[in-house]
Chains A and B, each alone.
Chain A
């Protein structure tokens, strides 16, 4: 296992994801002799995990079972121990594409935070690229380092413990892209420019508040960045449900009811067992939005460092 390479079987020292069911999962560090408690009972690493295939169903002591999944940056994002607010995969996807990241890219990031984005960046730039990540909080920087080592990606990342606004990224004229997720990104734009390659590159800044965006855009313009563009991306998740709607009784004869009521039902569902008209009910499938959704994470401001 590694976060940058798939492995078939679970090995000692791996980080695996225990999948309990609908959206419920947690990470586990696989260790010879170790045990993990779940609501379905105990998982014994030596016998239940090590040597098994990723994706296998593992029966726990109480007879219930779970799936063991191979770690990916996306699964890590929803399972990692939070030390800060983190970026989720929806924003990460857009950041990765808009920064034009690919194998071999050199990226600078600050702050490292909980390493949610870092794992995704490392995944994308591997095996020939590198991530330089700067975190001013010493404990967080060390914790991130430790995680990168555990996840087999330490050779692809350099963690520096310093203040990016004062001291920059510790590298210059090297990066293809820079990402900023700090409270005052405008103070780091100059350092970002210095970190980017002379021939240019892309920059992204993530800020929750429009005032931060405002100042960042001004700073970007001042430092000669072009193509400055601010956007926001929202994820809408749908639950797939079979919905039954009752047909109102308008006092019509029973036979009439069955013909008239049917026509108005969704024709695409015809033939599927769910559409049977049972006692004046029409069934159909629907994608129902979640009752509550994330309405705002942050504004993403992108720009290009041009040649001149």
Chain B
């Protein structure tokens, strides 16, 4: 255990790592001889392998990484500063170095630190600026010219921050503090049996997996052909974490609840997946089904940003190694059998997952999807045991208002709460502390509550609360149509 922990501290080939520069993050797979583009800079990760996570590197002119130790303070020379800006005129000529000069310096491979020094020396107004303004100037230039990258281990904190900043659309604008609320309100912890329905690229799933630490089980409900786990794969979870991760197609929920679920008619998934597999030139076959999480990532959009073409090429090269070529001849014969075997396996997994859901004793439900939350909640809550929390995320408030009303009509829930969090960051510096100039306009809304035993046949289970609430009690629907 200790040895394992020590090992996981080091950057290894094949790891999922996160690059950090200032406040910008990017998740990348650690591979040799693979150029990474980050913040307009190209470099290779080869040298980083073997170093401890959290190490800061400097990009050298040939695109390699060099570990950087403590940042030496260079600006210890005699400080000279103005008191105000009454005599500073913006004539656009204060910087004596031209654009070409700077480019030449960069091309010569001069260290970023030195370029910044040159810029300061060649700025005619620098000495007249106030101390604070000088600080700000240096900070700005350092950010631009000093290429310092820290490699960190992925976590929910880092990945949710990264996704919210880089690709909010892919996680339906679920801000990281909202995700944090979901995990807490849902009492997500080791040993739970959780039902998760998300269309957040697998980020919510990953966050739940991290909090459960491989203990307990998770059933991921998915729309379409299969669950998307691009973000999940960025976490770099150990294999055992996937042993108790199940998935169930949303399109089968109704028949499962009605007891008409037939294993003969599988969802459209097998055909779909088979098609993608062929398109992927058997890439998926190789990896086998044991590592479900990382497998799906290759067929769906990848968070690791496969926008660089060489990355795509590499993947193809990987797939076409010797073993694959041999297989190709036998493929036609084996293909049919292989497909059958897979179909059978899929069916077996589906049966198992259906059985887990049928127990209707899940310890919680988390929903964060692009779909209307009401039908999801009304159905999926059936799988949750009494006295368990549930949390629904929606980017918009209005659908949650409706969901709230419908849940009240249904009964079987208490402590319903519609909420939102505001997040404000601060600049804290001596004599210059204030809230940051910009803050996020919205991170979505949450509807949370706790399940209780549902009175079948009677619809009054909510009147305890309704008495104190505003809802007219006239339009309460019966519950019998929810389950057969």
Contact = CB atoms under 8 A, between A and B. Distances in A.
B425 interface: yes
A103 B179 CA distance: 18
B468 A21 contact: yes
A74 B184 contact: yes
Given A67-B414, A231-B424, A92 B55 contact: no
Nearest to A266: B398
Looking at chain A's contact residues, the main secondary structure is mixed
B211 interface: yes
Nearest to A72: B187
B100 to A, nearest CB: 36
Nearest to A213: B428
B157 A100 contact: yes
B258 interface: no
Contact of A97 (B157, B402, B405): B157
B191 A72 contact: no
A210 B177 CA distance: 21
Contacts of B183: 93, 96-97
Given A55-B453, A93-B184, A120-B184, A65 B422 contact: no
Interface in A87-102: 89-90, 92-94, 96-98, 100, 102
B184 A67 contact: no
Contact of B471 (A4, A120, A242): A242
A128 B213 contact: yes
Contacts of A96: 180, 183-184
Interface in B20-64: 52, 54-56
Interface stretch (A43-51, A157-165, A180-188, A232-240): A232-240
Contacts of A68: 387
Nearest to B384: A55
Interface stretch (B82-90, B275-283, B347-355, B459-467): B459-467
A287 B192 contact: no
A236 B420 contact: yes
B259 to A, nearest CB: 23
Given A92-B184, A97-B179, A103-B213, A235 B385 contact: no
A98 B386 contact: no
A53 B52 contact: no
B198 to A, nearest CB: 17
B430 interface: yes
B424 A103 contact: no
B187 A123 contact: yes
B187 A103 contact: no
B433 A69 contact: no
B180 A232 contact: no
B115 to A, nearest CB: 23
Interface stretch (A108-116, A132-140, A253-261, A299-307): A299-307
Given A94-B180, A96-B183, A307 B472 contact: no
A80 interface: no
Interface in A223-252: 228-242
B192 A6 contact: yes
A108 B479 CA distance: 48
A240 B401 contact: yes
B426 A230 contact: yes
A127 interface: yes
Interface residues of A, number: 74
A240 B415 contact: no
Contacts of B433: 210, 213-214
B390 to A, nearest CB: 12
Given A93-B183, A299-B426, A236 B468 contact: no
A256 B183 CA distance: 51
Contacts of A286: 401
Nearest to B160: A97
Interface string A256-280: 0000000000001000111000000
B450 interface: yes
B233 interface: no
B455 A57 contact: yes
Contacts of B464: 21, 65
Nearest to A228: B428
B430 A214 contact: yes
Nearest to A211: B433
Contact of A217 (B213, B387, B428, B470): B428
Contacts of B418: 237-240, 287
Nearest to A70: B387
Contacts of B385: 6, 8, 55
Nearest to B361: A8
Interface in B103-155: 155
Most buried by A among B397, B428, B468: B428
A107 interface: no
A213 B426 contact: yes
Interface in B415-456: 415, 417-426, 428, 430, 433, 445, 450-453, 455
A237 B414 CA distance: 16
Most buried by B among A5, A123, A287: A287
Most buried by B among A65, A72, A240: A240
A118 interface: no
B470 A242 contact: yes
Given A54-B387, A238-B397, A74 B187 contact: yes
Interface string B227-249: 00000000000000000000000
Given A6-B363, A89-B184, A200-B54, 15 more contacts: A6-B388, A19-B452, A55-B451, A55-B453, A56-B452, A74-B185, A96-B183, A97-B180, A229-B425, A230-B425, A233-B177, A240-B418, A285-B402, A286-B401, A308-B56
16 contacts: A4-B190, A5-B191, A22-B465, A54-B387, A55-B450, A72-B389, A96-B180, A96-B183, A103-B211, A233-B177, A234-B423, A235-B419, A237-B419, A240-B405, A242-B470, A242-B472
**Which 9 pairs from chain A and chain B are nearest by CB?**
A55-B386, A103-B213, A55-B387, A93-B184, A54-B387, A97-B180, A93-B180, A230-B426, A70-B387
